[in-house]
Amino acid sequence: MSEQDFSQFANLSPFELKDQLIEIASSDAQRLMLNAGRGNPNFLATLPRWAFLSLGEFALLEAQRSYSYLNSGFGGLPEHEGIVQRFETYAGNHDKTDGIGFLRSAISYVKDQLGLDQDAFLFEMVSAFLGCNYPTPPRMLVHTEEIVKAYLAQEMFGSVPRSGDFSVFATEGGTAAMTYIFQSLRENGLIKPGDKIAIATPIFSPYLEIPVLADYGLDVVDIRMDEHADWQLPEAEIEKLLDPAVKIFCLVNPSNPPSTKLSDATLDRLANLIATRKPGLFIVTDDVYGTFADDFVSLFAKCPRNTLCVYSFSKFFGATGWRLGAIGLHEDNVFDAALAALPEEQKKLLDVRYESLTTEPRKLRFIDRMVADSRAVALNHTAGLSVPQQLQMALFALNGLMDREHRYKNAAKQLIRQRYLTLYKNMGVKVAPAPNDVDYYTLIDLQELGGTLYGPEFEKWFAKSDLGTSFLFRLAQETGVVLLPGNGFEVVDTSARVSLANLTDREYASIGKFTRQVLDEYYQDFKKIGSPE
């Protein structure tokens, strides 16, 4: 391929460019394509899935009880009274499977640790499996919300004491959460064209692409993480948030693709600036990878009044196909305060927008406006994540809460970190993970790696020649390996993102060897051309 062949892909999202690379990488039927371009994990949590299946059989028996005198195949709604007692009888008559054991533990846990009524909890779960009712309340099932709140508090707050209560909106994955947040901010006049949005970069590319759409027309302020300081936010970058035109700050923590969590010191600097100098700032933190980090603390804990927290169960529990996400918002928050401070003329327009939902639309909280806006307001009564999905979400959350020894979490972290070491070992370089590294992804700085392997003159030549996209296509064409470009995530240096979640250790060894092979070929090109000077 000539260099000209790549220019047409310059404006593509990295996830769209991936499709082009896959087409090239899979063109040779004699070799195996290795796609490390997407973060879909190849591991998953089995216990909460066994529980889902076990509960399903019991739920169907409950449904059959209602019309047992009719023909087979006809059922009805489950009965609330005595449902736990009937489940105990059911469990006693079945083998002590993992699913049954999990459910018995869950019924005990929600009463002892969360203070929930056992019959009401099990009735909600059984009804959810059957999918026989609309999501009620539309934002989230009552007991499911309490379970997910407890899980988020455990995973997002770390050692920070919980400050006040918060609500949760169950969404169709983290992607829907992002969509709903931006949509409701716009619909409620909290952001408008020409406002500035600060984005901590590098970042998951849709956070760069959504704000500049004509729907929003926001000006992006780059808050640049420092690669040479463990991908933390320097003081000078944090100070950019003080620009009066900056209305909202978005970040992914741990970052994507550097896969590094914000340090305690960085979190404290951010929290101090916001508390003392920018108290009205809107923050959206996407913490989907927080459960892979050691001792993780979110801005949702450090800046509870300012922060909307986005979390997805997809990566940690291996559940991308389930589409399970959540938005958390504290009861006392700047979003509701901003709604209350809107000009009277704008409040009247919003009164009309939401008057079909309540006689006092001005009291409608921002999180509940997101629910309504997600279904064009008029369909609010049928809004909400499907109840079987909410059931599986609750079971995933209970898995995290009841795993007191963190066996699943430790296994997941050990798996991806071993892959990280394998990858770099086979590139011929030694790496020592930093304290804040998470390693769900790794960002291979190609020019820096080239400098390490072949010297500073090659590093200058590689950077000056702008070989990032060329490298990815050459790697795909010659070896069948697919990686994503770092520049699509607003990475400055020529780099490639590798997902460490979706292939085997042996395959990451191959990716490391192939990456080194292609860099060796570029070095041979460099030697023929000579020094960039």
DSSP string, 477-521: HHH-EE-EEGGGGT-SSSEEEEESSSS-HHHHHHHHHHHHHHHHH
Spatial contact of 143 and 116, defined as CB atoms under 8 Å apart: yes
Domain range 3-31+407-529, its CATH number among 3.40.250.10, 3.90.1150.10, 3.30.230.10, 3.40.50.970: 3.90.1150.10
- Asked if residue 310 lies in contact with residue 169, where contact means CB atoms within 8 angstroms, the answer is no
Residue with tokens 């979190």: 267
**Cα–Cα distance, 453 to 449 (Å, whole number):** 6
CATH code, residues 145-384: 3.40.640.10
What pLDDT does residue 314 have? 96
Q: Where in the chain is the domain with CATH 3.90.1150.10?
A: 3-31+407-529
The Cα–Cα gap between 19 and 7 comes to 16
**Residue pointed to by tokens 């927290």:** 309
Whose CA is closest to 449, among 518, 530, 525? 518
Handedness of CA 242, 243, 248, 253 (dihedral sign): negative
pLDDT at 472: 86
- Per residue, what are the HEC states of 375-434? CCCCCHHHCCCCHHHHHHHHHHHHHHHHCCCCHHHHHHHHHHHHHHHHHHHCCCCCCCCC
Q: What separation, in Å, do the N-terminal and C-terminal C-alpha atoms of the chain show?
A: 26
Look at residue 467 in the predicted model and tell me its pLDDT.
81
CB 512 within 8 A of CB 424: yes
pLDDT recorded at residue 4: 41
- Tell me if 140 sits within 8 A of 170, measured CB to CB: yes
Q: At CA 292, angle to CA 185 and CA 498, rounded to 5?
A: 85
Distance from C-alpha of 198 to C-alpha of 222, rounded to nearest angstrom: 6
Give the residue among 425, 511, 493, 429 at the shortest CA–CA distance from 485: 493
- Per-residue pLDDT tens, the chain, 533 aa: give them: 344 455 556 556 666 776 788 887 777 766 677 888 778 999 999 999 999 999 999 999 999 988 878 777 889 999 999 999 999 999 998 878 899 999 999 999 999 999 999 999 999 999 999 999 999 999 999 999 999 999 999 999 999 998 899 999 999 999 999 999 999 999 999 999 999 999 999 999 899 999 999 999 999 999 999 999 999 999 999 999 999 999 999 999 999 999 999 999 999 999 999 999 999 999 999 999 999 999 999 999 999 999 999 999 999 999 999 999 999 999 999 999 999 999 999 999 999 999 999 999 999 999 999 999 999 999 999 999 999 999 999 999 999 999 999 999 999 999 999 999 999 999 999 988 788 999 999 999 899 999 999 999 999 998 888 787 788 888 888 888 888 888 777 777 788 889 999 999 999 999 999 999 999 999 999 988 765 55
Q: What is the pLDDT of residue 3?
A: 44
DSSP 210: S
Q: Which residues contact 272 (CB under 8 A, 6 or more apart)?
A: none
Q: How far apart are CA 297 and CA 295, in angstroms?
A: 7
In this prediction, residue 9 carries a pLDDT of: 62
Residue 289 is predicted with a pLDDT of: 97
Phi, psi for 46 (deg, rounded to 5): -90, -35
Please count the other Cβ atoms lying within 10 Å of the Cβ belonging to residue 432. 6
Residue 263 is classified by DSSP as: P
pLDDT recorded at residue 37: 77
Q: Domain 47-133: which CATH class?
A: mainly alpha
Question: What is the spatial order of strands in the sheet that 246-252 belongs to?
Answer: 166-172, 324-330, 307-312, 282-286, 246-252, 196-201, 219-224
CB 171 within 8 A of CB 389: no
- Global pTM reads 0.93
- Cβ neighbours of residue 270 closer than 8 Å, sequence gap 6 or more: 233, 238, 262, 299, 302, 303
Domain with CATH 1.10.20.110 in the chain: 47-133
Q: Cβ distance 100 to 60 under 8 Å?
A: no
- Closest Cα partner for 484 from 52, 37, 113? 37
Enumerate the β-bridge partners of residue 286: 252, 310
Which pLDDT score, from 0 to 100, does residue 178 have? 97
Residue ranges, CATH 3.40.640.10, the chain: 145-384
- In degrees and rounded to multiples of 5, residue 310 shows phi and psi of -105, 130
The phi, psi pair for 220, rounded to 5°, reads -90, 130
pLDDT recorded at residue 7: 53
